[in-house]
Chain A
Amino acid sequence: MSDAKIAVIGGGSTGSAIVHDLASRGLDVTLIERGTIGSGTSGRFHGLLHSGARYAVNDPKAAEESILDNEVISKIAPHCVEDTGGVFMALKGDDQSFADKFESACKHAGIPIEQIPTEKLLQEEPFISKDVSIAFSVPDKTINSFRFITSLLLTAKSEGAKIRLGNEVIGFDVEDKAVKGVKVKNNISGEIETLKFDLVINASGAWASKILSDYLNINSIKMVLSAGTMVVVNRRFAKRVVNRLRLPSDGDIVVPYFTESIIGTTSFIVDNPDNFEVDEDDFKFLLAEGAKLIPAIKEYGMSRYFAGVRPLIAADEDTGGGSRSISRDFKIFDHGVTDGVSGILTIVGGKLSTARLMGKQISDFICDKLGVKTQSNTDKIKLLWPDLSADNLKNLSKSLLVSESLLKDILFETESKTYGDIYSPVKDLLLSKELFS
């Protein structure tokens, strides 16, 4: 077993999955995240746990990876996933010939797919447009990313990982062209300290190239930032995720997210992931596109919107063997090879649906480097999500400095109510606060 100290920068789905994987193999790992849970891209997406069907035609490899981890994540984190199912539907006037290509591509990628008679679909989903001409069901699901990441980190913490939320990277400790540590600022106390590490993994997503450029003068990663707006309607119309049956495009999905519907998405290039403007024209566009799938959306209008930033990485850059495209979706850069600065790796790309796989891939890469033979078994470890009972209520109350009686009132008041009421974001928040203590 190695006694190397490893830092992971970025507490989104990728960084959290890496921390869990490394900690589960007995490695000394610390997460450094400047914000709170879900403050980056992982907290600003459409909530979909992909079946992969969306990419089956134009990116079969990404589709295969998505369906594999769709099933794994559903098993290891059932408390985060709602098995909504998904439907891909064409409307009258759409290219009906796409259906055959789509069905065959899904089967080829190993995605379970079945054509649904339109009358049956309309009976089961009465809000769907009566203009539906062809429909297929696929195993799309939705995932609560806040709960997923909290759960990953609670599990990693139980495996010995150190979790530093609210800690921002403000520099690196570099000696002889090797990264030896990370300089961090605690955004709550203002305290600055330099933490020593043998290896740093930059998993900060849309911020990855900025961190490298600002603090290490590394500019080898060609990254384009693509933002996407999502519009939320204050009503759930369908049990299933509803997708338009065509090549992926703007405004072609309506995701049922607990008691709301999320219509997504658009794509526009931005320079700064922390500061960009959203085109308000996109709200009208998304509502109009969503209403083609579910006409009742027109009557409700938008209750709120949000936008997230996805990094796009040039796939064919020659980095002299220092990077590898592990999949069609993500890439690992070893800066010791690409930039002559050792002790730091960057992983970029991917989506939440393949986060666990990315965590495994980079952890395999690291263990290989460190001579650690332990294999990953994150596909089997059920993620922690404590049931709250009289026993752990006492401990939770102590660690959160909240009185037991108040906790009881907050957590148990939702018994005997509807599903929409039982979902308690308060419980999610309280358990995430455990990570600060």
Chain B
Amino acid sequence: MELSGSFSANVGKDKVVQLLSNPNEFSKCVPNVSEISVNGSNFDLRFKIDASKYTGKFLGASYLSNINVKFSGSIAYSPSDSTISISGGGSAVGVKFSINISLVLSGDNNITKADWKSDVNVGGFAKLFGESMMNQAMSENVDQIISCIKKRLEGSIP
């Protein structure tokens, strides 16, 4: 599944790179992180997603309203083309997934534009919940993360 978009923040490129290429900082925009361990550019995350509106289509799935997600990834920044790459894989409810995200940064000292593209392999989930529900879930979660990143960059949230 491919998603893409762009956002602008009223800060210089350096600040954007600082936030997005540091797993400890970036993970603050991932919802409900319960564990994080960082080793250089590699990181392991455990976080929860409120899945009640997705699992609600199943009878007896009340206990699945909060799903634990495990994710291991790495972040790299290429100054030559101002691109941040985040890639990795994980699992939730025993179903594996993988994500590759690239953000191309452009702009001047005061405004930075980030054009992002993500390729998410959630085949197992699409089989369970249906393609359109997965698209909706991914869009909503990505929107939430992007919105948080923008707010953190502009200092409106710590």
Contacts and interface: CB of A to CB of B under 8 A. Distances in A.
B155 to A, nearest CB: 25
Contacts of A226: 61, 64, 93
Contacts of B107: none
Interface string B87-108: 0000001110000000000000
Contacts of B67: 267
Nearest to B124: A269
Contacts of A312: 55, 58-61, 64
B59 A313 contact: yes
A312 B64 CA distance: 10
B60 A329 contact: yes
B93 A314 contact: no
Interface string B45-65: 000101010011111111111
15 contacts: A54-B62, A58-B52, A58-B65, A59-B62, A226-B64, A249-B65, A266-B68, A269-B128, A285-B68, A310-B60, A313-B60, A314-B58, A314-B59, A315-B59, A349-B60
Contacts of B65: 58, 247-249
Contacts of A224: 58, 128
B66 interface: yes
Interface string A223-261: 010110000000000000000001111100000000000
A269 B93 contact: yes
A116 interface: no
Given A55-B63, A226-B64, A267-B67, 4 more contacts: A58-B52, A226-B61, A312-B59, A313-B60
A55 B59 contact: no
A415 interface: no
A312 B60 CA distance: 6
B60 A351 contact: yes
B69 to A, nearest CB: 11
Main secondary structure of the interface of A (DSSP, over half): mixed
A249 B67 CA distance: 7
B122 to A, nearest CB: 13
B58 A313 contact: yes
Interface in B84-138: 93-95, 124, 128
Interface range, A side:
35 or more
A62 interface: yes
B68 A227 contact: no
Contacts of A366: none
Contacts of A270: 94
Nearest to A59: B62
B91 to A, nearest CB: 8
B57 A316 contact: yes
Interface of A: 54-55, 58-59, 62, 224, 226-227, 246-250, 265-270, 279, 281, 285, 310-316, 325, 328-331, 348-351
A224 B93 CA distance: 12
Given A224-B128, A247-B65, A268 B94 contact: yes
B93 A247 contact: no
A328 B64 contact: no
A58 B67 CA distance: 14
B137 to A, nearest CB: 16
B125 to A, nearest CB: 9
A249 B48 contact: yes
Contacts of A311: 60
Nearest to A329: B60
B59 A331 contact: yes
A331 B55 CA distance: 16
Contacts of B60: 62, 310-313, 328-330, 349-351
B82 to A, nearest CB: 37
Nearest to A250: B68
Contacts of A265: 63
Contacts of B59: 312-315, 325, 328-331, 348-349
A268 B52 CA distance: 16
A314 B128 CA distance: 10
Contacts of B62: 54-55, 58-59, 62, 248, 328
A327 B4 CA distance: 41
Nearest to B58: A312
A268 B93 CA distance: 4
Nearest to B60: A349
Contacts of A246: 66
Counting chain B CB atoms within 10 Å of each CB, the highest count among A62, A279, A312 belongs to A312
Contacts of A313: 58-60
B52 A227 contact: no
A247 to B, nearest CB: 5
A270 B61 CA distance: 15
Contacts of A55: 62-63
